[in-house]
Amino acid sequence: MPDTARRGLLIILSSPSGAGKSTLAKRLMSWDPTLRFSVSATTRDPRTGETDGVEYFFKTRAEFEAMVVQGDMLEHAEVFGNFYGTPKGPVEAAMGEGRDTLFDVDWQGGQQIRNSTLGKDVVSIFILPPSIAALEDRLRSRAQDSDDVIRSRMEKSLAEISHWSEYDYVLVNDDLDRAEEMLRTILTAERNRRDRQVGLSEFVRKLNREFDAR
Ligand code: ADP
Ligand code: 5GP
């Protein structure tokens, strides 16, 4: 059950394409089913196996622009020649319920969410590959993109990596189990920060009353 005595966290995962964000996000959600994944809208074509409303909401350019104009996006950006954006409504609903939301967004999305009114509840994590060769291997082994798309993503990987120091945490996704363990540890610690536990003052007052009543 979500912890209603705590505000929801916005957990941002960014990395160069292929470093393992989606894989780690899925593992984190199996570990904690109360986590909500922010399903982005995108104008890119679905990959084999992707379902509308699960990995993304697949939109035409006109539909995407209408969402932006109506103020429905928390953030949006052009990435690899397509548009991607985070629908605002579900994020605000999850925050209100004290549920934590995972975001798989690029550095532009990370900056915009951090600078939004929800910024104080952001925990941002940048994921690095162990090497550039491993990054390329992973993009190829995913076998979801054409050679041209893989080449273009590799060319843009250094630009994404250049934003690593804007993030609260940076982890190298070498061994998947270790990287997942690191993410769990970060999440557990961030959830327990004093300023995030809204019922704490009342709890300590109760301890005081119990002490006085001895
Ligand atoms: P991203 O979401 O960052 O673009 P993915 O999660 O799709 O990356 O991962 C890209 C590919 O690399 C996938 O085939 C995934 O199974 C694989 N992968 C992810 N993490 C590791 C790892 N630590 N070791 C080996 N392969 C990995
Ligand atoms: P992919 O096409 O591989 O699913 O995603 C490409 C890039 O777009 C990744 O870096 C991913 O993090 C980013 N991305 C996905 N959704 C969003 C979003 O809603 N906003 C932003 N700014 N980037 C996104």
- Residue-level pLDDT at 205: 96
Substitution site in 48, 138, 182 for ligand 1 pocket (most atoms within 8 Å of beta carbon): 138
- Residue-level pLDDT at 114: 97
- Residue-level pLDDT at 1: 42
Substitution site in 14, 23, 175 for ligand 1 pocket (most atoms within 8 Å of beta carbon): 23
Hey, what amino acid is at 19? A
What whole-number distance in Å separates Cα of residue 86 and Cα of residue 11?
13
Name the residue with the closest Cα to ligand 2, atom 9.
106
138 Cβ partners below 8 Å, 6+ apart? 18, 19, 20, 129
Q: Running DSSP on this structure, what letter comes out for residue 189?
A: H
- Report, as ranges of residue numbers, the positions in the chain whose pLDDT lies below 70: 1-5
What whole-number distance in Å separates Cα of residue 119 and Cα of residue 111?
9
What whole-number distance in Å separates Cα of residue 47 and Cα of residue 151?
17
- Residue-level pLDDT at 173: 98
- Taken in order of first residue, the domains within the chain and their CATH numbers are 10-38+99-212 (3.40.50.300)
The residue whose two tokens read 């929801």 is 8
- Residue-level pLDDT at 5: 64
21 is in an annotated binding site: yes
- The reply to whether ligand 1 has any atom less than 6 angstroms from the CB of 137 is no
Each residue's pLDDT tens digit, 105-132: 999 999 999 999 999 899 999 999 999 9
- Residue-level pLDDT at 2: 46
19 is in an annotated binding site: yes
Six token digits for residue 79: 């990435």
What are the percentages of helix, strand and coil residues in the chain, rounded to 5? 45, 20, 30
CA of 168 to the centre of ligand 2 (A): 19
- Residue-level pLDDT at 136: 95
- Residue-level pLDDT at 98: 87
